[in-house]
Amino acid sequence: MKLYKSIFQESWEITRRHPLLWFFGICVFFWGGKGIELEQFFTNADLLRSDLSPLRPTFWSGRQWMVIVDLFNGDQVWIAGFAVIVALFLLIAFVLIMSAHIGLIDAYGQFDANTHGRYKTHHALTAIKQHFWGVASVQLVTKAVSYGLLALAALPLFFDQLGQWQIVYSFLLFFIVTPVAVYLSTVAKFAMNDVVINKTPWVAALTRGRVLVRAQFGVILEFLVFVYIVYVIATALAVVLTQLVSLPILFAAAGDSVMIWGMNGYVFYSTFYHSVGALILMIVVALFSSWHMGSWTLFYRELLAGRKSSVTKQFWNRAPKQ
């Protein structure tokens, strides 16, 4: 337990002292599964449930796409332009997210809680220039395999002849492939750290990440669980803080019919409530996500320093034997 506590505390000390990392944290949070390994169970389940997901047959129905066609009155030039804009947006988002990963790993790899000075933009740009393609390759390969496996789990949904067994088969496959996706995400975390900190080629880094996960599986599994517990607590605190700040105002205005800035009083305060909630959530996301990535980097460095023993194993060894 001391290992995780010291990692989490040091990561927090570094996080709060380097504001640039907060921006990187927001970017990283929007990567698959919010960048949190165990959260993929819920994110992947949503992908299998949502009609907006390409893993659902309804996504490929004509009705979904006719909305866009009707929006541009069937003008192919406008539709093509819209497709190009979407593609450019996705490309820019991908570059930002990969760059944020590199910046965070580089910062937590260089600094500790006692290091003076702040991590600056020029530090991040230098690291991004050196390691972008290595980190991007790690992420693209592992995500392609993960989503390929998830597509396999969704395959029964496309066969109507299976009847009500569609859901059963898809459900079973989901619980087979998602742990593999979590494993790949964990390997990718270590591989990215290896690329940035040790300047290892990305293929070799993936191999070393796989070996590290196999050698330290128990400790890594505990780390995943503790990180997810912190995520749940942080989310709950964000919700509670939003309620404490805004809900009394909302209740006070519940029967208010006074016009404020052209809006009914209730509408105005409701807008204020949701705006405050969004602001608090963004702050929590920025701090948690950067702290989370920092914890992974510090954890990686600890594992490289020597073999660790899991809390479960230590407890088992101390238990009286019959």
* Range scoring the smallest mean pLDDT among 41-50, 80-89, 95-104, 126-135: 41-50
Q: Rounded to an integer, what is the distance from CA 242 to the centroid of its chain?
A: 22
Which amino acid, one-letter code, is at 148? G
**Cβ atoms of residues 123 and 148 within 8 Å:** no
pLDDT digits (tens, 9 = 90+) for 212-257: 999 999 899 999 999 999 988 988 888 888 778 776 666 665 555 5
- Rounded-to-integer distance, Cα 183 and Cα 160, Å: 32
- Residues 211-247 as b or e (16 or more Cβ within 10 Å = b): ebbeebeebbbbbbebbeebbeebeeebeebbeeebe
- Rounded-to-integer distance, Cα 190 and Cα 271, Å: 42
Residue 176, both tokens: 């087979």
Task: Give the bridge partners for 263, in sequence order.
Answer: 260
Residue 112, C-beta contacts closer than 8 angstroms, at least 6 positions apart = 10, 14
Cβ count within 10 A of residue 190: 26
- Rounded-to-integer distance, Cα 94 and Cα 179, Å: 24
Q: Rounded to an integer, what is the distance from CA 69 to the centroid of its chain?
A: 33
- Pick the more confident residue, 262 or 75: 75
**Cβ atoms of residues 185 and 37 within 8 Å:** yes
Residue 195, both tokens: 């690329």
Cβ count within 10 A of residue 88: 10
pLDDT digits (tens, 9 = 90+) for 131-190: 999 999 999 999 999 999 999 988 888 888 777 788 888 888 888 998 999 999 999 999
pTM of the model: 0.84
**Cβ atoms of residues 286 and 25 within 8 Å:** yes
Asked if pLDDT for residue 63 goes beyond 80, the answer is no
pLDDT digits (tens, 9 = 90+) for 124-139: 999 999 999 999 999 9
- Pick the more confident residue, 312 or 289: 289
Asked if pLDDT for residue 268 goes beyond 80, the answer is no
Strand, coil or helix: 259: strand
Confidence of residue 62 (pLDDT cuts 50, 70, 90): low
Q: Quick one: which of 212, 302, 318 has its CA closest to 5?
A: 302
Residue 318, C-beta contacts closer than 8 angstroms, at least 6 positions apart = none
pLDDT at 119: 86
Nearest 10 degrees: Cα torsion 206, 42, 23, 20: -50
Chain length of the chain? 322
Strand, coil or helix: 263: strand
- Rounded-to-integer distance, Cα 320 and Cα 235, Å: 39
- In this structure, what DSSP letter does residue 248 have? H
Confidence of residue 322 (pLDDT cuts 50, 70, 90): low
- Rounded-to-integer distance, Cα 271 and Cα 167, Å: 40
- Rounded-to-integer distance, Cα 140 and Cα 184, Å: 11
